[in-house]
């Protein structure tokens, strides 16, 4: 007989609440071959905010000729409704990106560099050492501008070009950003190579160094391990996860790295464990349906409350 989730012995004590950072409007829209109209972006982002998601990554401040899907970054930010408790963030890859983010009126940015030398050269045109120095400079510039800064480490669990990325390298990168004053760290499974063992090793080492600075995970479901990896991170006390409505997105610079963990699926898992998210899964699903209808395609999310009926698991009756 299947055990109730509440009776399953877990290694660690799960957080009572988790913060979900919605990255679909940046990561997902950026990944689509066609450019999403600004009006539709505003509609969907507003819907995600109404669903109870308090932090939404809305744009990348990158070169329009490289990523035309993000060419409207400033115009988009200017049109977003400002609501108490909602933080809009932007991804920046260079100092110019920080300047653009500040001028747009954003209060928070994510500085991002790769832990892989080959990926960094392909993605940013810089060696790993150059990217490290540049990343520290970017963190300093963003802090000086009064922005809230989190720093993400791409390819934290492996790279399709280099293979294994040792956790020593992640510790070195994380340590340098912590010294620079970053407000948070993000471990990004850019190429979808994370697994529970890798996650446990990296987190065990990095948490000792980060101490009170929050660590978030940006996970992909490329090989079907996305939510398994969430469970592993929960056992280590991680309480911040990036996710994307519908499971959209990936990395346009790495073939086959599609598939962020879906916001709806992540909420379903967490709430079934008695972990509070504050997110209305049905409202998120409405955003997914809206984009699917516009693009004429179906995204990989599995939990669709609008189709399946609301609360197919009695969340309130279960606890970790």
* Full set of structural domains in the chain with CATH: 14-306 (3.20.20.70)
> Does residue 251 have an active-site annotation?
yes
The residue with tokens 């492996």 is 158
d(CA 95, CA 73): 16
d(CA 284, CA 290): 10
pLDDT of the residue at 259? 85
d(CA 168, CA 18): 27
For 51, counting Cβ atoms within 10 Å of its Cβ (0-12 exposed, 13-18 middle, 19+ buried), the class is buried
**Whole-structure pTM value:** 0.91
The alpha-helical segments, DSSP class H, found in 236-309 are 263-272, 281-295, 305-308
* Nearest Cα to Cα of residue 245 among 263, 258, 259: 263
> For residue 245, what are the CA distances in angstroms to 24, 78, 90, 140, 267?
6, 22, 17, 32, 10
3-state secondary structure of 58: strand
pLDDT of the residue at 189? 95
pLDDT of the residue at 311? 42
Catalytic residue from among 155, 159, 243, 251: 251
d(CA 60, CA 27): 8
DSSP labels for 196-252? HHHHHHHHHHHHHHHTTS-EEEE-B-TTS-HHHHHHHHHHTT--EEEEBGGG----T
pLDDT of the residue at 304? 92
d(CA 190, CA 188): 5
DSSP symbol at 194: -
Residues 6+ apart with CB under 8 A from 245: 22, 24, 28, 44, 48, 262, 263, 264, 284, 285, 287, 288, 291, 301
pLDDT of the residue at 253? 52
The tens place of each residue's pLDDT in the chain, 320 residues long, gives 334 444 544 555 899 999 999 999 999 999 899 999 999 999 999 999 999 999 999 999 999 998 999 999 999 999 999 989 999 999 999 999 999 999 999 999 999 999 999 999 988 899 999 999 999 999 999 999 999 999 999 999 999 899 999 999 999 999 999 999 999 999 999 989 999 999 999 999 999 999 999 999 999 998 889 999 999 999 999 999 999 999 999 665 556 555 899 999 999 999 999 999 999 999 999 999 999 999 999 999 999 987 765 444 333 333 33
pLDDT of the residue at 229? 98
pLDDT of the residue at 255? 63
* Length of the chain as a residue count: 320
Find the distance separating the first CA and the last CA of the chain, reported in whole Å.
19
């Amino acid at each position: 007989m299947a055990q109730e989730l509440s009776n399953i012995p877990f290694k660690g004590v799960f957080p009572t609440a988790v913060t979900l950072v919605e990255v679909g409007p940046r990561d997902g829209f950026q990944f689509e071959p066609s450019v999403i109209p600004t009006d539709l972006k505003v509609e969907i982002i507003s819907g995600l905010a109404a669903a109870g998601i308090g932090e939404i990554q809305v744009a990348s401040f990158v070169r329009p000729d490289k990523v035309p899907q993000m060419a409207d970054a400033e115009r988009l930010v200017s049109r977003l409704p400002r609501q108490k408790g909602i933080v809009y963030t932007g991804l920046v890859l260079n100092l110019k990106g920080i300047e653009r983010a500040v001028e747009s009126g954003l209060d928070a940015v994510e500085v991002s560099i790769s832990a892989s030398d080959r990926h960094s050269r392909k993605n940013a045109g810089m060696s790993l050492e150059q990217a490290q120095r540049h990343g520290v400079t970017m963190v300093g510039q963003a802090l000086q501008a009064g922005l809230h800064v989190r720093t993400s480490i791409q390819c934290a669990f492996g790279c399709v070009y280099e293979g294994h990325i040792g956790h020593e390298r992640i510790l070195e990168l994380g340590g340098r950003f912590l010294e620079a004053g970053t407000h948070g760290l993000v471990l990004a499974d850019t190429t979808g190579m994370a697994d529970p063992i890798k996650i446990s090793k990296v987190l065990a080492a990095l948490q000792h160094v980060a101490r009170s600075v929050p660590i978030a995970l940006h996970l992909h479901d490329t090989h079907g391990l996305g939510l398994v990896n969430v469970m592993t991170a929960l056992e280590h006390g991680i309480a911040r996860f990036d996710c994307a409505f519908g499971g959209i997105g990936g990395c346009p610079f790495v073939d086959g790295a599609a598939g962020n963990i879906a916001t709806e699926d992540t909420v379903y898992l967490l709430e079934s464990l008695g972990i509070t998210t504050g997110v209305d899964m049905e409202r998120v699903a409405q955003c997914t349906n809206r984009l699917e209808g516009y693009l004429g395609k179906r995204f990989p999310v599995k939990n669709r409350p609008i189709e399946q009926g609301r609360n197919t698991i009695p969340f309130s009756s279960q606890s970790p």
